Structure 1
Amino acid sequence: MSVLTRDEAQTRARLLSVQRYAIDLDLTTGGEDTFTSRTAIHFTAHTAGDTFVELKPATLRSVTLDGTPLDPEALTENRLALSLTAGPHELHVDADMTYSRTGEGLHRFTDPVDGETYTYTQLFMDDVQRVFAAFDQPDLKAVFDVTVQAPDGWTVLANGITAQQDDGRWKAATTPLISTYLVAVAAGPWHSVTTEHAGLPFGLHCRRSLAPYLDADADELFDVTRHCYDRYHEKFDEPYPFDSYDQAFVPEFNAGAMENPGLVTFRDEFVYRSAVTDTERQTRAMVIAHEMAHMWFGDLVTLQWWDDIWLNESFAEYMGYQTLNEAAQRASSGQLPAWSSTDTWVNFGITRKSWGYDADQRPSTHPVAPAPDAVPDTASAMLNFDGISYAKGASALRQLVAWLGEKDFLTGINTHFARHKFANATLADFIDSLARATDRDVHAWAGQWLGTTGVDTLTPTVEEAGGAWHLTVTRHGERPHRLTVGAYDAGHGNTLVLREHSDIDVPQDEPAARPGHRPALLVLNDQDLTYAKVRLDGASTETALRALSGVPDALTRAVLWNSLRDMVRDGELAPAAYLETARTHLTEESDLAIVQGVLAFAAGHITDRYLTPIERPAALALLTDLTRDLIRRTEDGTNPGLRLIAVRHFIDAATQPDTIRGWLDEGHVPGGPALDPELRWRVLTRLAVLGATDDQDITAHLTADPSATGEEGAARCRAALPAPAAKEAAWNAMFHADTLSNYLFTATAQGFWQPEQEELLRPYTTRYYQDAPPLADRRGPVIAEAAGRHAFPTPVDAEALHLGEAALARTDLLPALRRKLTDQVDDLRRALTVRGRATH
C-alpha cells in the first residue's frame, strides 16, 4: 500500500479545495465480511493537473468523474489517478469495503454474551480509505453528509445528530468543516443514556451487555462531562463548535479514546464491570477531559500536517489534567466525587510523566515538534504517538504556563482559535499567536523546548556559610527551567515539615542563598512544574530513603519517587534499595496513584527485568509481604481502593498457589473484596503461570463468564500454561493463524512470556525474530505494534540482545514494528546495564 508523503499532500492541497462529501454506507449487505460504500465528492481544481483519490476496497464496482466512467481496474494499490481540468468536479465511487477486526477502518464486533453485532469507525491517520473514498489528508477539510442503512433494531450515531428517515436510512446532520480522519459512525443495537446540557443533547452509549454497568456510572460520567464543558467555556472564547456531544464506549478499541467531533469513542473497558480505585475513576475522567479539549485543539483548529501532532495531543493532555483539576474544585461542595478526590497532577507525575522520560531516553526519541521533513509520510507520523507527543509535550506546556503565566497563555490560545477556526494551523502559527499575548521571547522558548530531544538532569549542591545555605543547581542539558525548590525540616518521628518554597530559574546567575541551616530534605522541582530528571544531594537522599512517607504533599512525594526511579534506571541506585524503600514507605502512603505507580515499577521493571533470576524470588517475597501488610492495614474497610491495589499485586507476586487458589474457590478475599470478573481472571492467570490450573478449569471459568473480557482472560490463561503444547498453540494463534482480533492477540501475547518459564520459552526468542516481520507485513501496523509491544521476548541476557540488534539491522521491517523493536531492544540493553552495575 502506498503511504501519503508530505510532498504529495502539499502538491494536492495546492491543486484542490474540497467542498463536500456525501457518504452512503449500507451495513445490510455483504454479511460479516463486507459492506457497501458509496461516496460523492464535490471539489474544485484550481488549475488543470493530475492527482489521485485514496480507496482500499474489497471490490471497486464503479467510478465516475463528472458523469464520465473511469476504469476501476486503474486503481493501483490504494490510489485512483484523476486527470482534472480547472474548475468544479464531482467524483462518485461505488465499492464494497472490508470490515476490520483490528480496530482500523470500520471495525465489526459480535458480542459473545448475546450475539449482538456492533460496528464503529476509527479513521485516524490514513484509515478513512478503508471506509470511503477520500482525499485523505488533514488540510483538505470539507463538510460531510452521512447516511447509513443499518439492520432493524440498530441505532446509528455520527458526528452530528442522527435521525431515521422514512426509507429506514439513518441520516446525520451536515457537519461543519472537518478533516477526513475525524468523520465518525457507530452503528449497532446500542444501549443509550441521554440528557441535555447548555442546550445541547449529551449521550452515553455502550453494548447492551454492558448496560447495567453504564447505568451505574452514568451520573458520574455526565457529572464529569458537564463540569469540563463548563470549565472549557470559561477558558475559551470560542463556543463548543458542534451540535451534540455523544460518548460511545466501543469494543476492541485500539486507543484510549478518539476525538471525533460530536461523537467521541472510548475503549469500553472504561465501562467498569469490576471494582476500580478512585485513581482509575480519575483517569477515566481525565480521558473525558482530554477528548473534550480536542473539540478545540484538533477539531476546530486542525494540524496542517502530521509533524504538528503535538498541537493536538500535548494540548489535550495538558488541558485534560489541568481542567479536570479546576473542574474538581468547582465540584467540591461537600464531599469530593471519586473522580476528583486527589490532585490530577500527582497521577500525571507518577504515571504519565515517566512514560515521557523513558521515551525521551531511547534512540527513537524525537522533538515534541519535529521538523516537517522529519515526518515525510503517514507511516513515519504514526510512530510519533508516544510518550513524547503526549507526556513530554504536556509537561513542556505546564512549564510554559509557569514561565509565561496562565493569563497570557490563555490569551494566546484564544487568539489562535479565533485566527484558525475550522481551518488548519502549524507550529509557527501557534507561536505567533502566543507571541502576540506577551513580551517574552516565545520563539526562543519553543526552539529550546519543542525542537530538541532528551531529558535534562538537574543536580543540587548545598553549602552552608555565614548563617545561610547556598544552592547551586548543575544542569546537564540545554533547556531553561522555571522551578520551585522545596526545603523541609525534620519533624516528629519520620515526618518532615515544609520550611519554604522558593522559585528559581536554571541556569542560575548565581547560587541561591537562603537564611538559616541547610534543610534536612531539599527537593528540586518540588511542584513538578518542569520536565527534567532531578537528583538529590547526599543528605537529602538519606532523608528521602528514611522518611519519604513523612513528606506532607503527595505531589512532592511523586517527584521524589520519580527521582528514585530514574536513579535505578540510570544505575545510580540499586534496584534492591528501591524495593526496600517501597517496603518501608508504601504502608504509610495515602495517595493511591503513588501506591499503584511504585508497585507497578517495582513489579514490572525491577522484579521482572532489573533483578537476575536468582534475585527474583526474594523480590517477590518482599512484594508479597508488602502487599499483605497493605491488606491487613485495610481490614477495617476504610480504604477499599488501597485494598484492591494490594490484592491485585499480591496475586501477581504469588509464588505458591494455595492462598490465591483458596480465594478463587471461596469467591472472595477474606474480609473482602469479592472476586469480581477482573480478579477471578487475574487469579486464574497467576495459577496458570504457576502450573496450578489446566485447560478444563479455564474452560469452566469461561463458561461462567462468556463475555469479551472472559474470552481475553481465557486466551491469556491458556497462553500462560507452562506446557509445551500450550505454548505452541498460543504461538501459532499469534504468528501463523492470522485470525485473532487485536484484543485477543494482545491477551495471548500477555500470557505467553513469563519470567518463571524462561527455560521452556528460550527457543521462542529466536522464533520471534523469524515470525514477527512477516506477521507485521501480513496484518499491518496495529498488529505489528502489538507484536512489538506485548509479544516481545522477555529474557534478559546477552543472547537476546544480540538477536534484537541483528533484527534491527534488517532494512525490510514495517515501520511500526521497527519502532517497537528499537524501544524494546534499548530497554533490554538498559536492563542488562542495570544488572551489571547492581552486581559490582
Structure 2
Amino acid sequence: MPALTRDEAQTRAQLLDVQHYAIDLDLTRGEEVFGSTTVIRFTAHQDAATFVELKPATLHRATLDGTALDPAALDGNRLALTLTAGAHELRVEADMRYSHTGEGMHRFTDPADGETYLYTQLFLDDVQRVFAAFDQPDLKAVFDVTVTAPQEWTVLGNGRATATAPGRWTLATTPPLSTYLVAVAAGPWHSVVREHAGLPFGLHCRRSLAEHLDRDTDELFALTTDCYDRYHAKFTEPYPFDSYDQAFVPEFNAGAMENPGLVTFRDEFVYRSAVTDTERQVRAMVIAHEMAHMWFGDLVTLQWWDDIWLNESFAEYMGYQTLTECTRFTDTWTDFAIARKGWGYDADQRPSTHPVAPDNVPDGAAALLNFDGISYAKGASALRQLVAWLGEKDFLAGVNDHFARHRFANATLADFIDSMARASDRDVTAWAQAWLRTTGVDTLTPEIQSTDDSWSLHIRHDGSRPHHISVAAYDHGPDGLVLRERFTQDVPGPDTPTTHPGPRPDLLLLNDGDLTYAKVRLDETSLQTALRRLSDIPDALNRAVVWNTLRDMVRDGELAPPAYLEAVGAHLPEESDLAVIQGVLTFARTQIADRYLPADERPAALALLTTTARALLHSTDGGDNPGLRLTAVRALIDSATQPDELTAWLTAGTVPGGPELDPELRWRTLLRLAVLGAATDEQITAELAADPSATGQEGAARCRAALPTPQAKEAAWNAMFDADDALSNYLFTATAQGFWQPEHQHLTAAYVPRYYTDAATLAERRGPAMAEAAGRHAFPLPHVDHATLDLGDTTLRDTTPTPALHRKLADQLDDLRRALRVRDTKD
C-alpha cells in the first residue's frame, strides 16, 4: 500500500474542502472485524480525480452522491473518485479488522477476567484501518461519531459520550480535527469522573486494574487539574474541547497519544507494584506533555509531517517546565538531563540523524521515522535554549500569538517563527535556521589560561549553533565543592576572554543548569576533580550534566569504560537524587557492562554494580527512603551472578528488611534466575498461576525465552517469527527481551543470521509497529562482534527491508560499530 506523498497531499488540499464526517461503528460483529460506515461531506474546487483511503477487511459498498462505486476498484488502500466542481457526499460501508499490534482499532482480552477492551490509535495513517478518510493533517473537518457496542460496555471519544439506547452511544460533535486525532475507546471500563473548571475530567482503566487506579486517583486528578490551571495561566486561548478523559489502555505502543478530549496512555502507568518517586514524576510529565498537545497539536495542527517537531518538542518542553511550576515535582529538568537528553544526543550522532525541522519529508512512511530523540529531546532542548535566549515573557507572547492566528487550523514552522519574531526584536529566523535546520551535536570545550591571581576562559566551539549558556566555577571546600561564581556567556563569545580574579577554579562546568543542547568537555583539572568529587557538586542538575559528560566521553572513546564504572562505585552511594541514580545505573548496566566491555571483564563490572547497589541498600536500612531501596533491590537482582540470594528472596517473598516482593519484583527475580539457569518452566507456570494478569503473561513469556536451553530458545524464536502471528505487540516484545542474554551467546549465536531474514519477513507481514519492535527488542544486542555487524551491513546493502525496519537496523548497526570502537578505548 503506497504511503501518501507530500505532493499528493498538497494537490488534494488544493482540490478539496472537507466539512464533515459522520462515522458509525458497530463493535458487535465478533472477534475479527467491526462494522464501519462513513459519510463524508466535502467540496471540490474544480473537476478532478482524487482518492479516499481505507484498509478494509471487506468493502461492502461505496456511493458518491448516491451513485454506486465498484468495490473492486479499491486499489490497495485507495478508492478512486472522479469529481465535478461543487458539493459531494461519499458513503462507504465496510468491515474492518481488529488489530493486535496497537495500530488502528486494537482489541485486547484481559487474561485476568476475560473482559474485552477496544481503543483506536490512528496516528500517522492508521485512521484508514477504522474508517474511510481523506487522510492528511491539513484536511480538518467536524466529526460526528456513533457507536454500537455490547450493552455492558462504556464508550469514550473526543467529545462527551451519551448512551441513547442500550448499547448505542453518540459522541458530541467535535470542533475541526485532523483525521489522525479522532479517538474511540470501548469496553467495561472502570471510570472515575470529577468536575473541574466546569468540565468533566475522567480517569478510565480496565476493571482488573480498578483498585490500583483508585489508589492513585487523587494524585492523578491533582496533577491533571494543576497542569490545566497552569496552562490556562500561560495561554490566552482557553481549553478548546468539551471534556478531558484520560484512558489507560492495554498494549499501547507509545507512552500516550494526544487525542483531543480523550488522551490514551499505556496502562503500565496504573501501577500494580511499588514504584519510585522518579517513576511517578515520569507519569506526571507524560500527563503534562499530553495536555500541552491540546493546544499545540490539536488546536493548532501541523500542515504536513515535516513539522511534527512543533507538536512533540513543544509538548516535551512544556511538560517538564510546567511540572516544575505547579506540582511537587520541582526537579524535573534533572530527570530530563539524565534520562531523556542522551536519547537526543545518541540519535543525533547516527547516520540517520535529521534536523529537528526537516525540510524534506516526502511521504508518511518517511515521517514515521522521525519520531525519535531528535523530535522529542533535542527539540525540547532547542526550545529551552530559545527561552533562555528570548526570555520566557517573549516566548509565551509568541506562542499565544501563534495560537490566536491559527486556532482550529494548520500551521508550519514559518508560521511559528513569524509569531516568535512578532514578539521579540531578536533574529528568530536566523536562530531557527541554525538550530532547527541543521544536524549533529555541537561540542563545547573550556580552554583556561591562569596566573597566580587571575584566570580567563575561552570556549572552543566545535559546531555551528549559537549558544547562550551559564558557566559555574567551583572550589574545593571542607565539606564538598563550593560554588565560587556563576556567569552567563554567549558562544561564539567575545574575541578577548573576560578575566576573572583569583586562582583557576578546581572545577569549571560549562552548560551550568543544562540550558543548551551540546556535549561539553572538562579541562584536565576539572576532569580529575569530577572523577574524585562528583558527588560533592551541590546541585543535582549539574551533577547530571557531569554524568552526561562522562557518558559522552565513554561513547566517544575519550574515557575508558572501567573509569566510568569507578566513578559509579565512588559516587552513586553518596548521590541523593533518584533520577541520577537510576539513569547512571541504567547506562552502567545496559551499555557499559553488557556491550562496551569484553566478555571476560563483564563479571567484574557486575560485581562492582552489585557492591554499589548493596551500599545503596544499606543506606536505606532505616526505612526512610523506600524509592532508593527499591532502586537498589532492582539493581541487585539485575546484576546478580549467583542465584542463591535471589532464590532465598523469592522463596521468602521479601528482601530482608523489605521490600516485599510484589508482582514486578517477583517477575524480575524469576527472570534473572532463568537467565542464570536456576529457574524451571514449572516455576514459571506456577508464578503465572499466581499472577494470571496481562503483565503476568508478559513476565512468563520473558522468563521462558530466557531459559538457557536450546529447546527454550527455539520455542521462543518460533513464537516470535512463525507466520501465524499469534503474539500481540507486547508478548512479542517480552519474548524478544527474554531471548537475547549476554550469558547465552553460545546458545543464541546461530540465531544471528536468522534474525536478519526473519525480521525482514515479519516487518513486511505485520507492519510498522511490529517492524519497530523487531528492530528494537529482537535485535541481537549481546553479540558485539564484527560477524554480527557484517551480516547487518550485508542485509542493508543487498536487501530492501521496510522503511521502519531499515531505520532501526541502521541505528542498531551504528550503535554496534560504536560499541566495538569503545571496546578499544584504553585508560
TM-superposition CA deviations, 1:84-142 (whole Å, max 9, x none): 00000000000000000000000000000000000000000100000000000000000
Match status 1:827 vs 2:812: no
Structure 1 residue matching 2:79: 3-state secondary structure: strand
Partner of 2:563: 577
Supply the distance in 1 between the matched residues of 2:617 and 2:453 (Cα, whole angstroms).
47
1:433 counterpart letter in structure 2: S
Residues 633-712 of structure 1 correspond to what in structure 2 (within 5 A)?
Answer: 633-712=619-698
Match status 1:519 vs 2:510: no
Partner of 2:184: 185
CA contact (8 A) 2:151 2:166 kept: no
Structure 2 residue matching 1:793: 3-state secondary structure: coil
Residues 463-502 of structure 1 correspond to what in structure 2 (within 5 A)?
Answer: 463-465=449-451, 467-493=453-479, 495-502=480-487
Partner of 1:77: 76
1:353 corresponds to which of 341, 356, 376 = 341
Structure 1 residue 696, shift from structure 2 partner:
0.7
Structure 1 residue 198, shift from structure 2 partner:
0.5
Structure 1 residue 466, shift from structure 2 partner:
6.8
Structure 2 residue matching 1:615: 3-state secondary structure: helix
Structure 1 residue 806, shift from structure 2 partner:
0.9
Supply the distance in 1 between the matched residues of 2:539 and 2:760 (Cα, whole angstroms).
48
Match status 1:279 vs 2:278: yes
Supply the distance in 1 between the matched residues of 2:191 and 2:791 (Cα, whole angstroms).
50
Residues 776-791 of structure 1 correspond to what in structure 2 (within 5 A)?
Answer: 776-791=763-778
Structure 1 residue 804, shift from structure 2 partner:
1.2
Structure 1 residue matching 2:550: 3-state secondary structure: helix
Structure 1 residue 315, shift from structure 2 partner:
0.2
Structure 1 residue 798, shift from structure 2 partner:
1.1
Partner of 1:331: none
Supply the distance in 2 between the matched residues of 1:492 and 1:65 (Cα, whole angstroms).
82
Residues 404-443 of structure 1 correspond to what in structure 2 (within 5 A)?
Answer: 404-443=390-429
Partner of 1:333: none
TM-superposition CA deviations, 1:371-398 (whole Å, max 9, x none): 0xx2100000000000000000000000
Structure 2 residue matching 1:617: 3-state secondary structure: helix
Partner of 1:214: 213
Structure 1 residue matching 2:448: 3-state secondary structure: strand
Partner of 1:107: 106
CA contact (8 A) 2:133 2:179 kept: yes
Match status 1:542 vs 2:541: no
TM-superposition CA deviations, 1:296-344 (whole Å, max 9, x none): 010000000000000000000000000111112xxxxxxx4xxx2x410
Match status 1:750 vs 2:737: yes
Instruction: Tell me the percent identity.
Output: 73
Match status 1:3 vs 2:9: no
Partner of 2:804: 816
Supply the distance in 1 between the matched residues of 2:733 and 2:71 (Cα, whole angstroms).
37
Supply the distance in 2 between the matched residues of 1:473 and 1:11 (Cα, whole angstroms).
49
1:741 corresponds to which of 707, 728, 731 = 728
Structure 1 residue matching 2:423: 3-state secondary structure: coil
1:764 counterpart letter in structure 2: Y
TM-superposition CA deviations, 1:386-421 (whole Å, max 9, x none): 000000000000000001111110000000000000
Structure 1 residue 169, shift from structure 2 partner:
1.1
Partner of 2:747: 760
Structure 1 residue 465, shift from structure 2 partner:
3.0
Supply the distance in 2 between the matched residues of 1:810 and 1:433 (Cα, whole angstroms).
47
Supply the distance in 1 between the matched residues of 2:729 and 2:485 (Cα, whole angstroms).
51
1:456 counterpart letter in structure 2: D
Structure 1 residue 422, shift from structure 2 partner:
0.2
TM-superposition CA deviations, 1:208-261 (whole Å, max 9, x none): 000000000000000000110000001000000000000000000000000000
Q: RMSD across aligned C-alpha pairs, in angstroms? A: 0.8
Supply the distance in 1 between the matched residues of 2:498 and 2:157 (Cα, whole angstroms).
57
CA contact (8 A) 2:43 2:86 kept: yes
CA contact (8 A) 2:399 2:419 kept: yes
Structure 1 residue matching 2:274: 3-state secondary structure: coil
Structure 2 residue matching 1:614: 3-state secondary structure: helix
Residues 87-98 of structure 1 correspond to what in structure 2 (within 5 A)?
Answer: 87-98=86-97
Partner of 1:141: 140
1:829 counterpart letter in structure 2: R
Structure 1 residue matching 2:200: 3-state secondary structure: strand
Structure 2 residue matching 1:163: 3-state secondary structure: strand
TM-superposition CA deviations, 1:623-671 (whole Å, max 9, x none): 1111011111111101110110110011000000000110000000000
Structure 1 residue matching 2:268: 3-state secondary structure: helix
Structure 1 residue 837, shift from structure 2 partner:
2.0
TM-superposition CA deviations, 1:11-49 (whole Å, max 9, x none): 0000001000000000011x1100000000000001110
Supply the distance in 2 between the matched residues of 1:837 and 1:523 (Cα, whole angstroms).
24
Supply the distance in 2 between the matched residues of 1:21 and 1:665 (Cα, whole angstroms).
58
Structure 1 residue 348, shift from structure 2 partner:
0.2
TM-superposition CA deviations, 1:659-693 (whole Å, max 9, x none): 01100000000000000000000000000000101
CA contact (8 A) 2:21 2:142 kept: yes
Supply the distance in 2 between the matched residues of 1:782 and 1:417 (Cα, whole angstroms).
32
Q: TM-score, normalised by structure 2?
A: 0.99
CA contact (8 A) 2:161 2:171 kept: yes
Structure 1 residue 811, shift from structure 2 partner:
4.4
Partner of 1:18: 18
Supply the distance in 2 between the matched residues of 1:537 and 1:647 (Cα, whole angstroms).
36
1:99 counterpart letter in structure 2: Y
Partner of 1:297: 296
Match status 1:626 vs 2:612: yes
1:607 counterpart letter in structure 2: A
Supply the distance in 1 between the matched residues of 2:794 and 2:629 (Cα, whole angstroms).
45
Supply the distance in 1 between the matched residues of 2:757 and 2:95 (Cα, whole angstroms).
35
Supply the distance in 1 between the matched residues of 2:437 and 2:807 (Cα, whole angstroms).
20
CA contact (8 A) 2:353 2:440 kept: yes
Partner of 1:508: 493
Supply the distance in 2 between the matched residues of 1:310 and 1:80 (Cα, whole angstroms).
31
TM-superposition CA deviations, 1:451-496 (whole Å, max 9, x none): 0000000000111137221001001101110000000110115x10
2:354 counterpart letter in structure 1: H
Supply the distance in 2 between the matched residues of 1:438 and 1:465 (Cα, whole angstroms).
41
Supply the distance in 2 between the matched residues of 1:271 and 1:813 (Cα, whole angstroms).
36
Give the number of aligned pairs: 824
Match status 1:368 vs 2:353: no
1:556 corresponds to which of 542, 545, 548 = 542
Structure 1 residue 746, shift from structure 2 partner:
0.2
Supply the distance in 2 between the matched residues of 1:168 and 1:745 (Cα, whole angstroms).
34
Q: TM-score, normalised by structure 1?
A: 0.98
Partner of 2:718: 732
2:319 counterpart letter in structure 1: G
TM-superposition CA deviations, 1:123-164 (whole Å, max 9, x none): 001000000000000000000000000001100000000010
Structure 2 residue matching 1:119: 3-state secondary structure: strand
Structure 2 residue matching 1:11: 3-state secondary structure: helix
Runs of 5+ consecutive residues of structure 1 not aligned to the other structure: 329-335
Supply the distance in 2 between the matched residues of 1:513 and 1:393 (Cα, whole angstroms).
34
Partner of 1:267: 266
Supply the distance in 2 between the matched residues of 1:806 and 1:512 (Cα, whole angstroms).
53
Supply the distance in 1 between the matched residues of 2:505 and 2:777 (Cα, whole angstroms).
45
1:37 counterpart letter in structure 2: S
CA contact (8 A) 2:452 2:503 kept: no
Structure 1 residue 512, shift from structure 2 partner:
2.9
Supply the distance in 1 between the matched residues of 2:378 and 2:429 (Cα, whole angstroms).
18
Structure 2 residue matching 1:809: 3-state secondary structure: helix
Supply the distance in 1 between the matched residues of 2:757 and 2:422 (Cα, whole angstroms).
55
Partner of 1:332: none
Structure 1 residue 738, shift from structure 2 partner:
1.3
CA contact (8 A) 2:469 2:510 kept: yes
